[in-house]
Amino acid sequence: MPNDATLRVVMLDEDHVMDLVRCGMAQASAGNDAMIRRFFAPEQCDPDRLYALAHGLSAADGVEVVQAKGDPLATARAQIILFRRGIVDGATVASCPDLLLVQRLGGRSDGIDLAGLRARLVPVSCLVRRTLSYTAEHAILLMLALAKRLPDAERALRAGAYDAVLVNAPDKVAYNWVGLSRVGGLHGRTLGIIGLGEVGALAARMAVGFGMRVIYANRRPLPPEGEAAAGARFRPLADLMAEADFISIHAPNTPQTKGLVNAAAIARMQPTAFLVNTARGPILDEDALYDALAAGRIAGAGLDVHATEPRPRDDRFCALPNVILTPHVAGGSRLGLLDEVGAIYDNLRAVRGGAPPPHDRVT
């Protein structure tokens, strides 16, 4: 299409990342500047950096951004559909006669009518997100640190603790000289993933690389090809809690998942099992978790997300020796989102100019 023609971009969903994409395409203003600075805090980001990435895509350039909010009439007039979570099925595709691009922020293409879009020669881009890989990595990091008792080992070494018998070994190799017990690993263990979405699937594939067996709980099982791609097998949540050596929460934060991992679920865990949460704090009943950790009914936990953020300095969890706490940093630097958002803008500009999207095209 000519660059001077109006381009209608319809956003199917609303969240903080979609707000950032929209802000970049809006005219600079005090309100937008403040929102951008707030989003990237505590890191510094000049709002002009985001506006520069979106050059040529503002209202002044003839680009109209509409938030659908489930309005089928808004979607029907779309030339570009942009979303993170949602469905672009056959009915949606058929209702959009002017469609030029379907752009998802995320690497999965399920829920998109690829065949129908391919038949109409409409390109689809599913942008792989580095920040989601970082989150999956952090879940594995917490599992490793718990299994290998990393904080205990580091503290004991720094304190100069040692077992005299081990230090005086005749071969001069003082294996585990601080005398830690129950030091393990991931290989051969069972990982239970709650929520096999994009991050959960990434964590599953990483865990398979460590030699783990992976099971998962979802609202509904994935099709066989989805399970095969992730290397995971479905279990009802109650069974997963009882069977897994490590449990990692990756469910979305919705009213339906609030308190999903509750006292009854935690009570089913093995006494040697560990629980990790890198999703959102409200999904986990922290009172029930604290009771289980304090009583030694489970081996430990790793939390990057918390019921209250920031967690107070004198919080009860800070006194527990069998929990590892990190300050909601699993996704890495928020500045990394600039690369993801910039790739979306590149795709939009390319399609507007009649070229194929350069980033992560799947059809």
pLDDT tens string 74-105: 889 999 999 998 899 999 999 999 999 999 99
- Do 341 and 298 share a structural domain? no
Q: Select from 326, 241, 245 the least CA-distant residue to 285.
A: 241
Which one is catalytic: 280, 306, 311, 349? 280
**280 is annotated as an active-site residue:** yes
Q: Three-state secondary structure along 291-351?
A: HHHHCCCCCEEEECCCCCCCCCCCCHHHHCCCEEECCCCCCCCHHHHHHHHHHHHHHHHHH
Residue 56 lies in a domain: yes
- Do 141 and 77 share a structural domain? no
Q: What pLDDT does residue 360 have?
A: 96
pLDDT tens-digit readout, 239-257 = 999 999 999 999 999 999 9
- Do 300 and 219 share a structural domain? yes
pLDDT category of residue 162 using cuts at 50, 70 and 90? confident
- Do 263 and 136 share a structural domain? yes
Reply yes or no: is the peptide bond before residue 310 cis, omega within 30 of 0.
Answer: yes
Question: Contact, 362 vs 106, CB < 8 A?
Answer: no
Q: What is the CA radius of gyration of the chain?
A: 24
In the chain, the N- to C-terminal Cα span, in Å, equals: 19
- Do 316 and 195 share a structural domain? yes
Residue 282 lies in a domain: yes
Residue 35 lies in a domain: yes
Residue 239 lies in a domain: yes
- Do 138 and 69 share a structural domain? no
- Do 338 and 257 share a structural domain? no
- Whether the pLDDT of residue 3 is over 80: the answer is no
Torsion of CA 183, 188, 192, 193, to 10 degrees: 100
Residue 104 lies in a domain: no
**309 is annotated as an active-site residue:** yes
Q: What pLDDT does residue 73 have?
A: 80
pLDDT tens-digit readout, 111-145 = 999 999 999 999 999 999 999 999 999 999 999 99
Residue 126 lies in a domain: no
Q: Select from 40, 35, 22, 44 the least CA-distant residue to 337.
A: 40
Q: Is the dihedral of CA 202, 203, 207, 213 positive or negative?
A: negative
* Number of domains within the chain: 2
- Do 309 and 216 share a structural domain? yes
Question: Contact, 134 vs 329, CB < 8 A?
Answer: no
Residue 116 lies in a domain: no
Which one is catalytic: 108, 328, 334, 361? 328
Which one is catalytic: 43, 64, 154, 309? 309
- Do 321 and 346 share a structural domain? no
Residue 192 lies in a domain: yes
- Whole-model pTM: value is 0.90
- Do 191 and 258 share a structural domain? yes
- Do 140 and 86 share a structural domain? no
- Give the three-state DSSP class for 230: helix
**What is the residue range of 293's domain?**
132-148+184-325
- Do 318 and 216 share a structural domain? yes
Question: Domain of 287: which CATH number?
Answer: 3.40.50.720
**235 is annotated as an active-site residue:** no
